[in-house]
Structure 1
Amino acid sequence: MKIIILMFVFIASCGYGLAQESMLCVGHYWTEDEGNQMLKEFATEWNDRASWEARAAKIKKGILEGMQFDKMPNIEGNFNAIIRNKHEMDGYIVENIAIESFPGFYITGNLYRPASEDGTYAAILSPHGHLKDKRFTEDIQKRAATMARMGAVVFAYDMIGYAESKQVDHKMPIALLLQTYNSKRVLDYLLSRSDVDPERIGMTGGSGGGTQTFVLTAIDDRIKVAAPVVQVSAHFFGGCVCESGMPIHKSASHQTNNVEVAALCAPRPMIIVSDGADWTRNTPRVEYPYIQKVYALYNGENRVENVHLPLEKHDYGYSKRSAVYNFFGHHLDLNMGSIPYDEGYKEDFVTVLPRKELEVFTEEEPMPKNVLQGNSAVINYLKIRL
């Protein structure tokens, strides 16, 4: 009898996994023409604010259920923050930080904040895209430092499996869930700080960081301003398990794409940055007009923008950063005059630090002893069913 029961559980589990896999929309799931056509079909399902909000609720429900977000711990506070190596720079401060996402799992990063330690500031979540040591790169440091000097507390944190976040592999089965939950915990932490204004919270990232930006913004209204960069596409769903490895775009009762996920930001301010050499090349003609129509339902056309750079490629380079500086400066009430400007923002005040000065954990100061190590240890702790 015991063997029969175990076989039934195994078969049911396999069936669940196969059903889940059949709902995945991965990478270039549609062609450009199909993505364009699907947006037109989606648009037939709403024609006013009430019908859009009904569809929006279904999309949000699909995201939460698809990534099994309800299985994550419901934790208030308990960040057990580790903050080390304060670097006082030109108009900003950098600190190395780790917070506990849930018992035994740590989010590693750097905290950039204004040089003045008096007052209340905006806060910005800064996730990044797919690169092994991306948090330590020049573009991440320049972006975070510039926004800190403008008057924001900026938390730049690692993708799971990259840089210092080595408790799990990046391509583990629940990467999308873990990264989204980590972002929520970063948001929780920032809101717990006495120097942060809860009404001025922004989030921005490029590529996979753009996915993290529009996914958290879609499910958490505490993000007040969003800037997903080089990622919002009608036909491309993200090529990594951390973006499309769990069924957040499709269920037995609905189908959506990242354009509609991004549109859940409405009517909060959002800037979409696109370029001419990746899956965002059609944004001015396909994706952005759809999102504009959603904002129009709230008389909020002035709160959504698209900066399209047809001569550029897939990155979060200087011109893309500058567009976000202006947008965040306006909508988060930052001090744009604090950044040197001469026919463009000057970022030369930023000191790019070597990795060893930005690491939270070292041989002398290792990770806490309670760490969960390995994919299985984390999945078993969370009791996630795959």
Structure 2
Amino acid sequence: MELTMNRIILGVILFCGLNGGLLAQSGELCQGAYFTEKQGAEFLEAETYQDLATWEHKSQQIRDRILKGLELSTLPPRPSSKAIIHGKMILDGYSVEKVILETLPGFYLTGNLYRPLKQLESYAGILAPHGHGQNPTGRYMEQTQKRCAALAKMGAVVLAWDMIGHGDSQQCQHKIPKAAKLQTINSLRALDFLESLPGIDKQRIGMTGESGGGTQTFLLAALDDRIKVSVPCVMVSAYFFGGCVCESGMPIHKAAGFQTNNVQIAALAAPRPMLLISDGGDWTKNTAEVEFPYILSIYSLYGQARLLENVHLPHEKHDYGPSKRKAMYVFMAKTLGLNLQAVQNSQGEMDESSIRVLSPEALSVFDNQHRLPAHALQGDAAVMGVL
């Protein structure tokens, strides 16, 4: 199992191009396995809180550090251009459309919008960021398409979008130095867009992603209480801080005299409903004994321990596989008022067989009628210039 986890970590290093490895730390950056497992547990033991006021003071310090570290203490203005939605495809119980959304002047988020075909009085909205993966990457992966389609069949409007440098998002490389800033801006603008759609119930907004998408999930939930329900999958760890520049390449965890970790950042979702999904094949292998009890103690300060759950799968690996999706469907159905039966067979078992996995070509947002605008930024230097 240890070998499996090491291979996963090595893959993330190689994918994101962090030269020198995860253990080569400098300055205020906390990257990869910044703590040992023992140090991570000891950090949490030393950071216990007995009353809500003390925790809320600490939580504000953590938010301030994230915003300052991401250079987002003052948010950039929203571009005035309207989102382009096109290419609607009708499938079994849901539709898939293509979205092009300007998030910064000259920078465009690219993704797919999944909607229920059944007319409802209102719809939950769910953001679905993805993690780092092999080809086909990102929103094209089977696991991403299946969870988005299933949630749409259950009654939610779901937005899946590309990490920078993935899929259709090719205006810069994934590993630009301020990738974490840009992807957080994209998450915020994705949320703005989702809330603006007709029929969306702003009190039923959820977010879930795996690995790097899990990082995006707990970061946005920490910064924006419009996220009412969150499900970070295979990511929340006491000792692992994220292996890619898009997660830990900016100083969000540490400053002079200050230290936090991803467990405390995830705890900022309290007291909103949250499900931690963890497994035995990566840095979430200790969640049931270390990370979950700590976050539960924070929820208990609010008197809302019942709103935090953990599904730990000790024999599974680092992915958003069927059993992890099943756990998420149950939680989202319960907390967002979705129809779980829409993805169950007559025996009450999860059934995704009606979901069609589409090709990257079918999901791509660009075609002869819809091209990247002429004023779009091109290249790492141009994108870094606006950041």
Give the TM-score taking structure 1 as reference length. Answer: 0.91
SS of residue paired to 1:227: strand
> What is the SS of the residue equivalent to 2:220?
helix
State whether residues 129 and 209 of structure 1, in contact with CA within 8 Å, keep that contact through their aligned partners in structure 2.
Answer: yes
Match of 2:46 in 1: 41
Please tell me the residue identity of whatever aligns with 1:355: P
Aligned to 1:178: 182
For 1:90 and 1:212, locate their aligned partners in 2 and report how far apart those are by CA, in whole Å: 29
1:241 aligns with 2:245: yes
2:65 corresponding residue in structure 1:
62
Residue in structure 2 matching 1:27, options 12, 28, 32? 32
Residue in structure 1 matching 2:193, options 189, 193, 197: 189
Equivalences for residues 221-236 of structure 1 within 5 A: 221-236=225-240
> How many Å apart are 1:354 and its aligned residue?
1.0
Deviation larger for 26-35 or 80-89: 80-89
Match of 1:114 in 2: 116
In the TM superposition, 1:23-172 aligns within 5 A as: 23-43=28-48, 46-70=49-73, 72-75=75-78, 78-117=80-119, 119-131=121-133, 133-172=137-176
Give the Cα–Cα distance (whole angstroms) in 1 for the partners of residues 88 and 46 of structure 2. Answer: 53
C-alpha distance in structure 1 between counterparts of 2:81 and 2:47, whole Å: 41
SS in 2 for 1:22: coil
Distance change in 2, residues 1:47/1:349 (3 Å): same
**Distance in 1, Cα, partners of 2:230 & 2:344:** 24
Contact 1:229 1:316 in 2 (8 A): yes
Post-superposition CA distance 1:26-76 (Å, at most 9, x none): 000011011011111111xx310000000000001000001101354122x
Cα displacement (A) at 1:221? 0.4
Runs (4 or more) in structure 1 with deviation over 6 Å come to: none
Query: 1:278 — aligned with what?
Result: 282
| Worse-superposed segment, 339-348 or 98-107 | 339-348
SS state of the match for residue 87, structure 1? strand
Matched, 1:216 2:186: no
Query: Following TM superposition, by how much is the alpha carbon of 1:21 offset from its aligned partner in structure 2, in angstroms?
Result: 4.9
Of 361, 370, 373 in structure 2, the residue corresponding to residue 368 of structure 1 is 373
Q: Distance in 2 between matches of 1:367 and 1:118?
A: 34
Amino acid at match of 1:129: G
Code of the aligned partner of 2:192: D
% identity of equivalent residues = 52
Residue of structure 2 aligned with 1:262, choices 251, 266, 280: 266
**Which whole-Å deviations, capped at 9, do the CAs of 1:208-233 have from their partners, x for residues lacking one?**
00000000100100000000000000
1:355 matched to 2:360: yes
Query: Any idea what SS the aligned residue of 2:73 has?
Result: helix
Give the C-alpha shift of residue 109 in structure 1: 0.5
Q: Indicate the larger mover: 228-237 or 64-73.
A: 64-73
CA distance in 2, matches of 1:160, 1:21: 25
Supply the AA of the counterpart residue of 1:55. Answer: K
Retained in 2: the 8 A contact 1:79–1:101?
no
SS in 1 for 2:302: coil
Contact 2:177–2:249 (Cα < 8 Å) also in 1: yes
User: CA 1:27–1:362 in 2, change beyond 3 Å: closer, same or farther?
Assistant: same
Amino acid at match of 1:41: A
Secondary structure at the counterpart of residue 153 of structure 1: strand
For 1:99-144, what per-residue CA distance to the aligned partner results, in whole angstroms no more than 9, with x for missing partners? 1112211100100010035531000000000125221121111100
User: Residues 368 and 118 of structure 1: is their aligned pair in 2 closer, same or farther, counting only changes over 3 Å?
Assistant: farther
- 2: distance between equivalents of 1:118 and 1:232? 34
Asked whether the equivalents of residues 206 and 231 of structure 1 are also in contact (C-alpha less than 8 Å), the reply is: yes
Say whether the 8 Å CA contact 1:79–1:189 is kept in structure 2: no
SS in 2 for 1:148: helix
Q: Secondary structure at the match of 1:125?
A: strand
State the secondary structure of the residue aligned to 1:182.
Answer: helix
Q: 2:127·2:158 contact (CA, 8 Å) conserved in 1?
A: yes
1:202 and 1:223 in contact (8 A); partners too: yes
Note the C-alpha offset of 1:343: 5.2
Task: Specify the code of the residue in structure 2 equivalent to 1:99.
Answer: L
- Report the RMSD for the aligned CA atoms in angstroms: 1.4
What code does the residue aligned with 1:267 have? Answer: P
Tell me the distance in 2 between the aligned counterparts of 1:89 and 1:362.
21
Q: Is the 8 A contact 1:232 1:262 kept in 2?
A: yes
CA contact (8 A) 2:208 2:232 kept: yes
TM-score by length of 2: 0.90
| Structure 1 portions without partners, runs of 5+ | 1-19
Amino acid at match of 2:82: N
User: 2:58 & 2:197 partners in 1: Cα distance?
Assistant: 35
Compare CA radii of gyration and give the structure with the larger one: 1
1:172-211 residue CA offsets vs partner (Å, 9 max, x unmatched):
0000000011000000011111221000000000000000
1:278 Cα shift? Answer: 0.6
Aligned-partner Cα distance in 2 for 1:320–1:94: 23
